Structure 1
Amino acid sequence: MFKPTVGPIIGHTTTNHARIFLRGKLQNNAPVFAGIRYRRLGEERWSQGVFAKLTILHDMSDVIALNNLAADTEYEYQAGWFSPMSPVHTVETVQELPLQWPRDIYRFRTQSSKAKIPRAYIVGSCRYLRMTAGVPSAPHLGDRIFASITNLAQQAEPPISAMLMTGDQIYVDDLNIIAPDREYKAILSKYRAAFSQPNIAKLMSGVPTYMILDDHEIEDNWPAKKSKADAYLYKNAITAYELYQASHSPAHELLASGQINRKLEHYWYQFAEGDIEWFVTDSRTRRNLSANDRRILDEEQEQALCKWLIHSRARVKFVVTSVMFYPDRKAHGDDAWKAFPEQRLRLLETIRTHRINNVFFVSGDVHGSLTSRLTHSADPDFEVHTIVSSPLCNSKLLPYAKASTFILDKPLARTAVGDYQHGLTSKVVSEDNFAHLTVDNEQIRINFHDRDGKLLQSTSIPLR
């Protein structure tokens, strides 16, 4: 067997289930299979291999589901791919073959079934990895921060439960002016290069990683500048996104057979860990830009989000939106929630009138990191927070955000019963960084670290 050409990537992981993405390679039209075997840390005997047949339709990749795992348990696993001599093999018959597995051993941990214990997460976005003629230019620059995240994850207590990548994991349009990528093969090549760099590959092989797209997975400020000719680009970009980012997420339902349902209804999804729940929105592909019903989330998604906010019993609710919920930018804010004030106000009023506590909006996009608190002038019980983490690696062509980037001297929204008022609860980080979130019984602590892992600043937000 050979090492995966991309991956393995640990995706959605629960107390008893884990999804692992990996890619092989086309072998002269011969059948190709990918496999995983695993065992509890400390055990000698490996499980029987779990296999999937790889096809060119999915760029020789697949997601293998491991089921019936034990909660709060560390597992070792090996992953690889091969092409058997006989063309008539199936995923069942290859289990009988005497395979020589790749030597690399990876580790992951299942969720704890305990509800009220401290948990920790990594949040980041906007990882620029420029490609020139199909080859990454100075890839170590776009990869170095992931070595720092891995180092933190290896020492963190409580352990890191997951990494949230909240948009712009790749830049399809990195050379948009000179040579824009529109072809499917070129976009796939970017994903392979971006996700196979050594540091990010090591991190994603052991830390469950949840992703959602933003505009650069398609085109800058998508879909505001969309033309008829962009239908071809969108089809290619979104197909690649589904393969490399959505495939290992909870957006795919798990069938009763233990296999993943390949049918994908939408890109937004939810997942939970104890008394903490996440709602990861798709704030990019379901936009309605018409003047009479502007929406950044489609109606179905807004209803699902409001229903979750109202009825979820989670003590802490994280809402991921790839673009900023607030504060608004003075310039270029029309690509974010600033341009959809009615829908934003509906969400805020839902939270306020239903007296929902501990709601945190998590986002990236702006190439600056911060925390901010939102209150209501006539309702002392209302409070929500935003946590922004961006970028993991900036382009020299793009500026970092600063405090002066944002509108901070005006209410976010005015209503008949009072104003929504906001202010920063941290400094604005204007360099490459990532966020380390720790949730305990009393507070959320947000630590921003630079690309070498150095602590830049720490903010604590009391839970209510």
Structure 2
Amino acid sequence: MLKPTIGPLVGHITTDHARLFIRGEIQKDLQVFAGVRYRISGSPHWIKSVFAKLSESRDMSAVITLNHLREDTEYEYQTGWFCPMSPVHTVDSVAELPLQWPREIYRLRTRCNQPLQARAYIIGSCRYLRLTAGIAVLPQLGDRIFASISQLIEGRQPPVSALLMTGDQVYLDDLNLIAPDREYTDMLAKYRAAFSQPNIKRLMSSTSTYMILDDHEIEDNWPAHAEAGDNTLYNNAIKAYELYQASHSPAFSLTTNGQVDHATLKHYWYQFSDGDLEWFVTDSRTRRTLSADDRRILDEEQEQVLLKWLVNSPARVKFVVTSVMFYPDRKSHGDDAWKAFPEQRLRLLETIRTHRIKNVIFVSGDVHGSLTSRLTHSEDLDFDIHTIVSSPLCNSKLLPYASESTFILDQPLAQTAAGDYRHELTSKVVSQDNFAHVVVEAQQIRVNYHDRDGDLLQTIDIPLR
């Protein structure tokens, strides 16, 4: 067996289930299979081997699921791909072959349902990796920060439950004015380059990773800048996104035999839980309505599901991920974010306020600057929400960093007959490459921002109620 060309990438994990993304390589006129075998860490015996047939239609990739796992347990696994000599093999028959597995052993941990247990996450967005003629230019710049993340979380308590990548994991339009990617093969090449760098591979091979797209997975400021004839560009970009980012997420349901059901994807937004914490990862990019009479950044179905979840979920802390900023608003170039959809934003805020929902945290990226901010209400002292913004993981030299002067901070976010929504920064604005290490404790959320070398920039404590 050969090592995966991309991956293994650990995706969605529950108390008894894990998803692993693996890519092999095309072998002309030969069948190609990928396999995973796993065991409880320290055990001398492998529990089971699971195989998948790879096809060119999925860029020789597969998501293999591990089922019936033990809660809060560390597992070891090995993985690779191979071509059997016989052309009639199936995923069942290859399990009987005497395979030589790649020597490297990876580890993952299943979720724990215990309430009030401290949990940690890494949050980041906007990872620029420039390609020229399909080759990464100075790839160590776009990969450097992931080595720092791995070093930070190794042996750290509480262990990191997941890596949240909240948009612009790739820049398909990095040379948008000269030669934007429009062809599917070019987009696949960019994903392969982005996810095959050594440091990000190491991190994602052992850390549950959740992703959601933003505009650069399609085109800058999509769909506001869409032109006639862009349907092909969009369809190709979305097909690549589904393959490399959505495939290992909860957006895909499982078949009756516990494998990912590729035929049932209905939308890109999804939910997942981690003990008494819950996450709602919105799609604030592909379901927009830009008509003047009914502007929406989330489609009606997604909004209704989100509101119902906010009201009815018993989660102790509710994280809402939106790739573009919920607040504060930017002074310029803010029409790509929630600033341009004030009615829908106000509906969410009024739902949280009138139902007295506590401990709602909005998580986003996009602006190439990191910050935390608090939102209150002039007449309702019980209303209190926070935002955590983390961006960028790696900036382009062509793009500026955000600073405090970027944002509108001297006027209410929204004004209603019932009172004003007022916001204030609770941190400095980080204007360099960085990531957030977020620790949720019983009484507070601690947000630690680190630079690309892993050095601590600032710490902010958000009290829980």
TM-score range, shorter chain: over 0.9
Which residue in the other structure is 2:340 paired with? 339
The alpha carbon displacement at 1:144 in A equals 0.4
User: Aligned partner of 1:114: which letter?
Assistant: Q
- String of CA shifts for 1:343-367, please: whole Å, max 9, x gaps: 0000000000000000000000000
User: Aligned partner of 2:304: which letter?
Assistant: Q
The alpha carbon displacement at 1:155 in A equals 2.9
CA contact (8 A) 2:126 2:167 kept: yes
User: Aligned partner of 1:243: which letter?
Assistant: L
Percent identical: 72
2:113 and 2:350 mapped to 1: Cα distance? 33
> What SS class does the counterpart of residue 48 from structure 2 fall into?
coil
> What SS class does the counterpart of residue 381 from structure 1 fall into?
coil
The alpha carbon displacement at 1:153 in A equals 1.3
User: Aligned partner of 1:167: which letter?
Assistant: G
2:141 and 2:312 mapped to 1: Cα distance? 44
2:402 and 2:242 mapped to 1: Cα distance? 30
Q: TM-score, with normalisation over the residues of structure 2?
A: 0.99
Which residue in the other structure is 2:43 paired with? 43
Which residue in the other structure is 1:83 paired with? 83
Deviating more after overlay: 252-261 vs 364-373: 252-261
Which residue in the other structure is 1:230 paired with? 230
Which residue in the other structure is 1:431 paired with? 432
User: Aligned partner of 1:315: which letter?
Assistant: R
Are 2:441 and 1:456 aligned?
A: no
Which residue in the other structure is 2:14 paired with? 14
Which residue in the other structure is 1:169 paired with? 169
- String of CA shifts for 1:96-143, please: whole Å, max 9, x gaps: 001000111111111112122000000000000000000000000000
CA contact (8 A) 2:160 2:207 kept: yes
Are 2:403 and 1:410 aligned?
A: no
Which residue in the other structure is 1:389 paired with? 390
CA contact (8 A) 1:115 1:273 kept: no
User: Aligned partner of 2:383: which letter?
Assistant: F
Are 2:181 and 1:186 aligned?
A: no
Which residue in the other structure is 2:110 paired with? 110
2:322 and 2:60 mapped to 1: Cα distance? 30
Which residue in the other structure is 1:282 paired with? 283
2:282 and 2:369 mapped to 1: Cα distance? 20
1:176 and 1:47 mapped to 2: Cα distance? 49
The alpha carbon displacement at 1:164 in A equals 0.2
> What SS class does the counterpart of residue 65 from structure 1 fall into?
strand
User: Aligned partner of 2:140: which letter?
Assistant: H
The alpha carbon displacement at 1:156 in A equals 1.5
2:289 and 2:268 mapped to 1: Cα distance? 16
Which residue in the other structure is 1:160 paired with? 160
User: Aligned partner of 1:107: which letter?
Assistant: R
User: Aligned partner of 1:3: which letter?
Assistant: K
Which residue in the other structure is 1:133 paired with? 133
Q: How many residues align?
A: 464
CA contact (8 A) 1:2 1:82 kept: yes
1:396 and 1:57 mapped to 2: Cα distance? 35
2:91 and 2:253 mapped to 1: Cα distance? 21
- String of CA shifts for 1:419-439, please: whole Å, max 9, x gaps: 000000000000000000000
> What SS class does the counterpart of residue 381 from structure 2 fall into?
strand
Which residue in the other structure is 1:144 paired with? 144
The alpha carbon displacement at 1:257 in A equals 1.4
2:11 and 2:69 mapped to 1: Cα distance? 15
Which residue in the other structure is 1:68 paired with? 68
User: Aligned partner of 2:221: which letter?
Assistant: N
Deviating more after overlay: 259-268 vs 367-376: 259-268
1:256 and 1:271 mapped to 2: Cα distance? 20
Give 1:279-428 correspondences, 5 Å limit: 279-428=280-429
Are 2:426 and 1:440 aligned?
A: no
The alpha carbon displacement at 1:229 in A equals 1.4
The alpha carbon displacement at 1:462 in A equals 0.4
Which residue in the other structure is 1:28 paired with? 28
1:100 and 1:228 mapped to 2: Cα distance? 52
> What SS class does the counterpart of residue 71 from structure 1 fall into?
coil
The alpha carbon displacement at 1:178 in A equals 1.4
User: Aligned partner of 1:364: which letter?
Assistant: G
Q: TM-score, with normalisation over the residues of structure 1?
A: 0.99
- String of CA shifts for 1:40-75, please: whole Å, max 9, x gaps: 111111123100011111000010000011111111
- String of CA shifts for 1:177-222, please: whole Å, max 9, x gaps: 1111111001000000100100000000000000000000000000
Q: What residue ranges of structure 2 are gaps of 5+ in the alignment?
A: none
The alpha carbon displacement at 1:227 in A equals 1.0
Deviating more after overlay: 106-115 vs 418-427: 106-115
**RMSD of Structure 2 on Structure 1 (CA):** 0.6
1:55 and 1:203 mapped to 2: Cα distance? 26
The alpha carbon displacement at 1:30 in A equals 1.2
Which residue in the other structure is 2:206 paired with? 206
- String of CA shifts for 1:303-332, please: whole Å, max 9, x gaps: 000000000000000000000000000000
CA contact (8 A) 1:48 1:95 kept: no
Which residue in the other structure is 2:59 paired with? 59
1:131 and 1:155 mapped to 2: Cα distance? 34
CA contact (8 A) 2:438 2:447 kept: yes
Q: What residue ranges of structure 1 are gaps of 5+ in the alignment?
A: none
CA contact (8 A) 2:20 2:65 kept: yes
